Amino acid sequence: MKKLINDPNDVVVEALRGIEAAHPELQVDHQHKVIYRGDAPKQGKVGLISGGGSGHEPLHGGFVGLGMLDAACAGEVFTSPVPEQMLAATKLVDGGAGVLHVVKNYTGDVMNFEMAAELAAAETGARVVSVVTDDDVAVQDSTWTAGRRGVGVTVLLEKIAGAAAEQGRDLDQVAEVARKVNANGRSMGVALTSCTVPAAGKPTFELGEGEMELGVGIHGEPGRERLPLAPASEIAAMLVEPILADLTFKPGDPVIAFVNGLGGTPLIELYVMFNEVARILAGHGVPVARSLVGSYITSLDMAGASVTLLKSDDELLSLWDAPVNTSALRWGI
């Protein structure tokens, strides 16, 4: 294992210190491992929080700031945060208009956010609404989920719902936008290598030199099948076609197309993949209205990529275009 770390057990703690040092506009509650906006809570604005196991950076901490999240909870690597962390984050961002919890569909995340919402209501009277993302078309049930996994659409949802909250929409309206994004977004990924969790010191799974895992999860969970390595054009089709088959498209329905790196794939390869994705979509008569290419929801050092398509309309595109200022996404400022 070759990693830029000190003690494997201190990776999350030390990374949070690095985030605090690099981004003075953010604050870090080190006791609860919460990254939050320096201007939180914003009175009268719906607060947005999310979180999950570390190792998926920049998700979620990289999306804290104007136009996205108000706070993010960092669990240990690939381990859900505990309810006390989520409760602390909820309290930090509650400006009186309620708080939206954005939860990826993993059993630990769903259970712990649910407990945190109940605790917040009991302790402070805060109104909390949760929206669960479950956009992965690869498998129905997986290692840590009942139902589909929450993956790439989470990034798009945090941006779009964050913009709605920034506009001053109320909690029910922000939650409605978030549910709309989840309902209209689908994702699928492929791994070319495993990842290596620092505390484990060895790859999570074995993948032969000429093999790839189609439909892999962001923690290295098994996908649909293990196949011989193929050219980018064929891999793109293996990812895009199941997404298109799972969503109902009318001719001309625009999409936000997101090609995401899983942590160990160079940007040049992601653009090769995006070219193939765009070609396939054009062949289906699906226009790409907006695009995002880069490593935004990762699996440590895993080589591979995922594709997320969000069927959009004028409302979602307007919210996507709205200003955002976070460490990982920034435009319109």
Q: What residues are annotated to the active site?
A: 56, 219
Half-sphere exposure at residue 284, Cβ-oriented, CA atoms within 13 angstroms: 23
185-191 and 211-214 beta bridge pairing: antiparallel
Span between the terminal Cα atoms of the chain, in Å: 40
Helix (H, G, I), strand (E, B) or coil at 186: strand
Q: Which amino acid is at 106?
A: Y
Distance between CA atoms of residues 84 and 71, nearest Å: 14
User: CA dist 188 to 39, 50, 195, Å?
Assistant: 36, 21, 17
DSSP state of 251: T
> Residue 36: beta bridge partners?
27, 71
Q: Does the CA dihedral 203-206-209-210 come out positive or negative?
A: negative
Task: Kindly give, in sequence order, each residue whose CB lies less than 8 Å from that of residue 142, ignoring residues fewer than 6 positions away.
Answer: 149, 217, 221, 222
CB atoms within 10 A of CB 285: 11
